[in-house]
Amino acid sequence: MNRHIAIYPSVMCSKPWDLKDYVNVFDKTGVDGIHFDVMDGHFVPNITLGTIDFNMIRSITDMPMNVHFMVERPEVIIPYFELKENDMCAFHPEATRQPHSLLLSLKSRNIKAGLAISPATSIDYIENCLDVLDFILVMAVNPGFGGQKMVANHLSKLEKIKALADKAAHKIEIIVDGNTTLENAKLMLKAGADSFVVGNSSIMKDGPEKFQENYKLYLERLQK
């Protein structure tokens, strides 16, 4: 029996006028959550979706949100978003002075807590927060933009992260974010990935009308 591979489509890859159609097709398709990228123009050289987009999406679907904060001082920004139980929230540990306590504060609200690890970020953060991590968002690209290419050290780093996550007494979901094309995703699965954020590089490249077909094909070919 094929294991479940969770898929989190990245709405920053949607054209603004397609957003509602995408959310409706995500619901229909049964994706595992909506990947919502927040960028502040400081931690990364880009600005994307904000609280208005978040609340609009929240108002038309009950799907969990998989929120990726690429911001300085995430402890200040996260409260602006109406996160609720079962949402997933990841931030970059180097962007805050107290990553462990921020993870704890998320868990105290029954929000799944994760660290987003860029290509150059030390995996010591994972080792030191292992007891409070629900998931790890492993960046296969440098954060800030969709449609980039996987960096050279990603797969070997992913293997190291998987080995660390396996040391925990509980299951820590390993989600890869960035350039998760079918070819790359097959290699990422072998290197230890459980789940994928999908954006311009893969399932979302043909618009909402093709999403369901692309999603089905992607999973079928990934399971082969």
Contact flag: residue 40 with Zn ion (CB under 5 A): no
**Which residues of the chain form contacts with ligand DX5 (CB under 6 A)?**
10, 12-13, 35, 37, 68, 141, 143-148, 177-180, 197-202
Nearer to ligand DX5, 64 or 144 (CB): 144
Nearer to ligand DX5, 96 or 181 (CB): 181
Q: How far is the CB of 92 from Zn ion (least distance, A)?
A: 11
| Single-letter residue type at 108 | S
Q: Which partner, ligand DX5, Zn ion, none, binds residue 87 by CB below 5 to 8 Å per kind?
A: none
Interatomic CA distance for residues 16 and 142, integer angstroms:
23
37 has catalytic annotation: yes
Stretch that binds Zn ion, among 21-29, 59-67, 170-178, 216-224 (CB under 5 A): 170-178
Which of 32, 40, 87, 177 is catalytic? The answer is 177
Q: Which positions from 56 through 95 interact with Zn ion, judged by CB under 5 A? A: 68
Interatomic CA distance for residues 99 and 96, integer angstroms:
6
Which of 32, 37, 134, 194 is catalytic? The answer is 37
Nearer to ligand DX5, 5 or 168 (CB): 5
Binding residue count for Zn ion, defined by CB under 5 A: 3
Q: Which partner, Zn ion, ligand DX5, none, binds residue 179 by CB below 5 to 8 Å per kind?
A: ligand DX5
Quick one: three-class SS letters along the chain?
CCCCCEEEEEHHHCCHHHHHHHHHHHHHHCCCCEEEEEEECCCCCCECCCHHHHHHHHHHCCCCEEEEEECCCHHHHHHHCCCCCCCEEEECHHHCCCHHHHHHHHHCCCCEEEEEECCCCCCHHHHHHHHHCCEEEEECCCCCCCCCCCCCCHHHHHHHHHHHHCCCCCCCEEEEECCCCHHHHHHHHHHCCCEEEECCCCHHHHCHHHHHHHHHHHHHHHHC
Nearer to ligand DX5, 202 or 214 (CB): 202
177 has catalytic annotation: yes
Residue 105, CA distances (Å) to 41, 75, 108, 153 in order: 25, 9, 5, 32
Q: Which partner, ligand DX5, Zn ion, none, binds residue 40 by CB below 5 to 8 Å per kind?
A: none
Q: Which partner, Zn ion, ligand DX5, none, binds residue 29 by CB below 5 to 8 Å per kind?
A: none
Q: How far is the CB of 167 from ligand DX5 (least distance, A)?
A: 26
Q: How far is the CB of 139 from ligand DX5 (least distance, A)?
A: 7
> What amino acid positions are annotated as catalytic residues?
37, 177
